[in-house]
């Protein structure tokens, strides 16, 4: 694909003798929304880190066309961040970019921060300390921070973790709006597929050195996942949601209450 934002070609990544993936080809198109799934330790975060240039591939090539926006995993010990005002946190994303010198540069930077705050509807709490905001509000600020770079691709590492369902929906809708209006691709690591299911174009499913890439229907079915895991996995569709049963990470698509619903 010539206009791909990110291209992995015959790529492989191993740490010592352990391969996280081999012979992986993936072209990510502008505006494409890709969910990266798999059990703990399967290499989801590492896949993002290769795109960030933090981890070199051990085989094949990776090309990135355009700027990257990164929404890192949230850690409970981000205490330094908690003291900042929302606007200052977002401003970190705008640092390092070339805004020109003097007052003009400062104005351009401020305008970009204001635009990013407005895009995620966070202007009203831009002056509040991050630590006083809800998890959902903080996550909006992290998205705004990533947007200040006007990215061609957003790398999102479990951005829904520890958010309630309403905030999850807000975050996903913000990312979806961005890709629709600005054609920004989204590479989204998640343990819960259901909140993003309506928006996902393709899934990259990693486990134990193997992977599958395809549409939700192509990958998230009993036959494909059983083959991938080498043990019986059942994928059940309930309305617009998917439940994965069996296998060591059967929980990964199940949200609170859905398992009970499936059983009843």
Ligand X SMILES: Nc1ncnc2c1ncn2[C@@H]1O[C@H](COP(=O)(O)OP(=O)(O)OP(=O)(O)O)[C@@H](O)[C@H]1O
CA distance 111 to 147: 12
Select from 7, 14, 46, 222 the one that contacts ligand X (CB under 6 A).
46
- Nearest residue (CB) to ligand X, 43 versus 93: 43
Rule CB under 6 A: which of 139-198 touch ligand X? none
Retrieve residue 12's tokens: 């492989």
CB of 62 to ligand X, least distance (A): 15
Task: Name 219's Cβ contacts closer than 8 Å, sequence gap at least 6.
Answer: 203, 205, 212, 213, 225
Residue among 41, 131, 230, 232 that touches ligand X (CB under 6 A):
41
Contact with ligand X (CB under 6 A) among 38, 91, 93, 159: 38
Single out the residue of 79, 92, 99, 182 nearest to residue 146, CA to CA.
Answer: 92
Candidate ranges 44-52, 85-93, 193-201, 224-232; the one touching ligand X (CB under 6 A): 44-52
Run of H or E including 26: strand 18-28
Least Å distance between CB 39 and ligand X? 7
Other C-beta atoms lying within 10 Å of the C-beta of residue 36: 24
Residue 40 touching ligand X (CB under 6 A): yes
Asked if 42 interacts with ligand X (CB under 6 A), we say: yes
In whole angstroms, give the CA distance from residue 133 to residue 120. Answer: 15
Residue 81 binds ligand X, judged by CB under 6 A: no
CB 216 within 8 A of CB 235: no
Of positions 44, 142, 149, 178, contacts ligand X by CB under 6 A: 44
- By beta-carbon proximity to ligand X, the closer residue of 218 and 248 is 248
Nearer to ligand X, 37 or 130 (CB): 37
Q: Which of residues 15-34 bind ligand X (CB under 6 A)?
A: 15, 20
Answer for the pair 93, 148: CB distance below 8 angstroms, yes or no: yes
Give me the helix-helix angle, 86-94 and 102-119, nearest 10°: 120
Interface with ligand X by CB under 6 A: which range of 35-43, 81-89, 108-116, 229-237?
A: 35-43
> Could you give the C-alpha distances from 166 to 36, 160, 172, 182, in angstroms and in order?
22, 10, 10, 24
Residue 50 or 168 having the CB closest to ligand X = 50
Q: Where along the sequence are the contacts to ligand X (CB under 6 A)?
A: 15, 20, 38, 40-46
């Amino acid at each position: 694909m010539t206009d791909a934002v990110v291209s992995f070609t015959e790529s492989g990544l191993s740490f010592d003798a352990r391969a996280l993936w081999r012979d992986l080809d993936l072209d990510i198109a502008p505006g494409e929304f890709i969910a990266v799934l798999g059990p703990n330790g399967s290499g989801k975060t590492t896949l993002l880190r290769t795109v960030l240039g933090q981890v070199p591939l051990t085989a094949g090539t990776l090309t990135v066309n355009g700027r990257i926006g990164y929404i890192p995993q949230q850690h409970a010990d981000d205490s330094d961040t908690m003291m900042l005002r929302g606007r200052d946190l977002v401003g970190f994303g705008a640092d390092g970019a070339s805004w020109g010198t003097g007052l003009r540069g400062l104005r351009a930077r401020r305008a970009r921060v204001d635009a990013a705050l407005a895009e995620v509807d966070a202007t009203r709490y831009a002056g509040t300390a991050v630590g006083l905001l809800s998890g959902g509000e903080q996550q909006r600020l992290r998205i705004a921070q990533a947007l200040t770079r006007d990215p061609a691709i957003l790398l999102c590492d479990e951005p829904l973790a520890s958010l309630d369902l309403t905030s999850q929906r807000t975050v996903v809708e913000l990312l979806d709006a961005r890709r629709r209006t600005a054609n920004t691709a989204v590479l989204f690591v998640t343990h819960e597929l259901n909140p993003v299911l309506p928006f996902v174009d393709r899934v990259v499913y990693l486990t134990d050195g193997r992977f599958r890439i395809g549409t939700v229907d192509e990958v998230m079915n009993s036959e494909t996942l059983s083959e991938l895991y080498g043990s019986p996995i059942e994928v059940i569709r309930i309305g617009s949601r998917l439940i994965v049963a069996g296998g060591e990470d059967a929980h990964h698509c199940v949200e609170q209450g859905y398992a009970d619903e499936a059983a009843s």
